[in-house]
A and B are shown apart, each in its own frame.
Chain A
Amino acid sequence: MYNYDNYDKQMLQERIVQFRDQTRRFQAGELSTEQFLPLRLQNGLYIQRLAPMLRVAIPYGCLSSRQLRKLASISRDYDKGYAHFSTRQNIQYNWPILEQVPDLLAELAEVEMHAIQTSGNCIRNTTTDQFAGVAVDEIEDSRPWCEIIRQWSSFHPEFAYLPRKFKIAVCGTPNDQAATQVHDIGLYIKKDDNGEIGFQVLVGGGLGRTPVIGATICEFLPWQHLLTYLDAIMRIYNRFGRRDNKYKARIKILVKEIGAEAFREKVEAEWLHDKDGSATLTQDEVERCKGFFTDPDYQELDNTNQAIEDAAASDLLFSHWLERNVAPHKKSGYRIVNLCLKETGVAPGDITDTQMEFVADLADKYSFGEVRVTHEQNLVLTDVRLQDLYVVYKALKTESLATPYLGLINDIVCCPGGDFCSLANAKSIPIAESIQRRFEDFDVQKNIGDITLNISGCMNACGHHHVGNIGILGVDKKGAEFYQVTLGGSSDRDTSLGKVLGPSFAQAEMPDVMEKIINVYLENRQENENFLATYNRIGMEPYKEKVYANAD
């Protein structure tokens, strides 16, 4: 984990003092609502349907057990005893009180956390693959690079009032788990023939009203130039991104309007000035950052374990969990353990204070005190010994954290929707629950196999519905809540955007609609074909026919 030094601490303290004063001036009437708006947003504070919402940054999804305990106590002391992991690896509190927010932020700072730039028209928290540093097939650990970007983007004076929000994702694995191609900037870490690190740079990806897959504007950017190149992209966007229409203000629209090639030329021309300047990264700085992300004290262990195999043979649920929730690790004798926060009846991504403390304890005991947050709204213990898996599993079960359906249909990605969010067109959480109830039987889920189902309560697409194999979008139909379904989306390395199935459905119809879609897949799938592969082969028609068969 990165550790703050005095510079980091000082800037964080200065920010807290600054925001405390801004809040005071707002309450004293010295700042108008309009003037206070971007200030509170850049400190993570929304005014929501029922109360303010505070979004706390979890830099590239990495948490220490100490930080997780603090998040738990804050949820107890300032909120209603639970919190929500978002699809951007952040955590959200739904019920803080405005006057208490500066105190809450001061508490976060005790564990080197904050809510800075988690909202507003600025560079947001950089996200990455939740398996960074432990994935078997990793090209390069993305965390040090994310940290370098975090520092560069924090309090960047030139880019705090962009046309719109700005999201960067970094991916260091061939299997993209970071949805890299649907970010404003996506960075794939590569190695050249000499083993030198560089970045493939994509720009203009994004979801929302106009979903776009990012375009590559640089195939290989040597690592030294990362920050100067990012500065150049940001400057072009800051100057030329549209400001006349909020819905056309993201960088993707600029890239589309002038074309990726013209955009690239502008960036290159701008970059020429900065290239090799003082912001050029040094080997020392990269080494310094890498020094925070070294391997923990792994033991030398066998990569098989008889006791675990025996336990799996006698405990069916455990074997399901092993199969679904446990992933291979780069180190022999270790495994990556995924905690699925998708218990039926609980809003996807929600977690209670006691669960957080429990996970923190488990992390201390079994995983070197670290936890990761995923953009699928789950948690990860990255470094669990193979021999400990059964104990960990049984412990997780006591807190309802061992649901064995990671990557199955009930592992639904879902935004807070109309229950909390003031921008929503429709509720999303009850839809998730009704679908989970329909597919509750684990054997049914398992038979369906790998699939992603993503739900957003409005066009803003926080639930990433465009890139779900099945996507559900809440829409407003003359004041009533309806749901549009898309099929065929994916945020993998071969990113694709889902296509609309047809007219939208009422809430009560949704479980049936899902079941019909799944049945078309089951009837048509060929050996080992997952949902997406079958869809890609047979196309939309069979699904349409089945779902709308009795529509009149």
Chain B
Amino acid sequence: MPTLIKDGQVVDNLWCLLEKGVDMNAALSDKAEQIIVPFALWQDHKDTLMESSKKIAVWLDSEDDPYELANDVIDLPLICLNFPVFRDGRAFSAAVILRERLNYQGEIRAIGDVLRDQLCYMKKCGMDSFDLADGVNVENALHAFNDFSTSYMSTMEEPLPLFRRR
């Protein structure tokens, strides 16, 4: 079973991610019980997906607008944010928007080109699980969350900026 990092631990990944362009039939006949569907499929078939027997999550690519999930966050146990390449930083803002603006309480997972050296910042932006890119050593990556013990500014980890805590 593939693994990922969640809440600071290595756990099994129970979710199956469906690539862009997948159609509804293929999605619903997938043998996995927990599927992560691309944003476009979710937008087009939200009701049908919710009525199916599967557990449904959604993944956003870096250009997708997280605000468009405003009415859906209550239904989604997991939202994934894709890093097409690690230096595309849009998902950092998407995570903040999901947490802060949309008050999303479920799991936010970083997927795609997820490398060790960005993990600490991802967590500070509100992501709480990490599906690491191929080749990244999971055990080593666990240390990355301790890179910085605090932050100057308000973060999802520590909503009070340092100047209100000093």
Contacts and interface: CB of A to CB of B under 8 A. Distances in A.
State whether these chains interact.
yes
A278 B161 CA distance: 7
Contact of B96 (A160, A162, A235): A235
Interface in B99-154: 100-101, 115, 117-118, 120-122, 124-125, 137, 147-154
Which of A30, A243, A273 has the largest number of chain B CB atoms within 10 A?
Answer: A243
B155 interface: yes
A121 B87 contact: yes
Interface residues of B, number: 37
A296 interface: no
A238 B90 contact: yes
Interface in A262-293: 273-274, 277-279, 281-282, 284-285, 288
A527 interface: no
A154 B115 CA distance: 21
B93 A155 contact: no
Contact of B150 (A11, A121, A159, A235): A11
B159 interface: yes
Given A158-B93, A160-B89, A235-B97, 14 more contacts: A11-B148, A14-B147, A15-B148, A35-B117, A152-B161, A155-B148, A155-B152, A161-B88, A161-B92, A162-B89, A231-B153, A277-B154, A278-B154, A282-B163
B92 A39 contact: no
Nearest to B146: A14
B44 to A, nearest CB: 23
* Size bracket of the A interface: 35 or more
A150 to B, nearest CB: 9
A239 B93 contact: yes
A285 B154 contact: no
Contact of B125 (A11, A31, A157): A157
Given A155-B151, A278-B154, A278-B161, A7 B92 contact: no
Contacts of A243: 88, 90
Contact of B154 (A7, A279, A284): A279
A552 interface: no
A238 B121 CA distance: 15
B160 interface: yes
Contacts of B93: 158, 235, 238-239
B164 interface: yes
Contact of B92 (A18, A159, A274): A159
B89, B124, B137, B160: which has the most chain A beta carbons within 10 Å?
A: B89
A454 B113 CA distance: 42
B92 A238 contact: yes
A30 B141 CA distance: 12
Contacts of A277: 154
B152 A158 contact: no
Q: Which 8 A-B pairs have the closest CB atoms?
A: A161-B89, A157-B121, A157-B124, A285-B163, A151-B152, A279-B154, A158-B92, A238-B93
B162 interface: yes
A414 to B, nearest CB: 31
A158 B96 contact: yes
A17 B100 CA distance: 31
A305 interface: no
27 contacts: A5-B166, A7-B150, A7-B162, A10-B149, A11-B149, A11-B150, A14-B147, A121-B87, A121-B89, A152-B152, A155-B121, A155-B151, A156-B153, A157-B125, A157-B155, A158-B89, A158-B125, A160-B89, A161-B87, A235-B93, A235-B96, A238-B89, A239-B93, A278-B154, A278-B161, A279-B161, A285-B163
Interface string A424-438: 000000000000000
A7 B166 contact: yes
B46 to A, nearest CB: 23
A300 to B, nearest CB: 36
Contacts of B101: 273
A22 interface: yes
B120 A157 contact: yes
Interface of B: 86-90, 92-94, 96-97, 100-101, 115, 117-118, 120-122, 124-125, 137, 147-155, 159-164, 166
B79 to A, nearest CB: 16
B117 to A, nearest CB: 6
Contacts of A121: 87, 89
Interface in A442-487: none
A227 interface: yes
Contacts of A162: 89
Contacts of B150: 7, 10-11
Given A235-B93, A238-B92, A273-B101, A157 B87 contact: no
A38 B113 CA distance: 14
A239 B140 CA distance: 30
Contacts of B159: 278
Given A282-B163, A282-B164, A152 B87 contact: no
Contacts of B125: 157-158
Most chain B CB within a 10 A radius of its CB, from A22, A155, A158, A282: A158
A241 to B, nearest CB: 9
Given A18-B147, A158-B92, A227 B153 contact: yes
Nearest to A36: B117
A35 B83 CA distance: 14
Contacts of A235: 93, 96-97
A463 B164 CA distance: 40
A159 B152 CA distance: 13
B161 A160 contact: no
A125 B58 CA distance: 38
A279 B153 contact: yes
Contacts of A35: 86, 115, 117
Interface string A2-41: 0001010011001100100010000000110001001100
A161 B121 CA distance: 10
B62 to A, nearest CB: 8
B89 A14 contact: no
Contacts of A39: 117
Most buried by B among A121, A231, A239: A239
A239 B124 CA distance: 18
Nearest to B159: A278
A160 B121 contact: yes
B149 A14 contact: yes
Nearest to B113: A35
A162 B93 CA distance: 10
Contacts of B96: 158, 235
B96 to A, nearest CB: 6
Contacts of B117: 22, 31, 35, 39
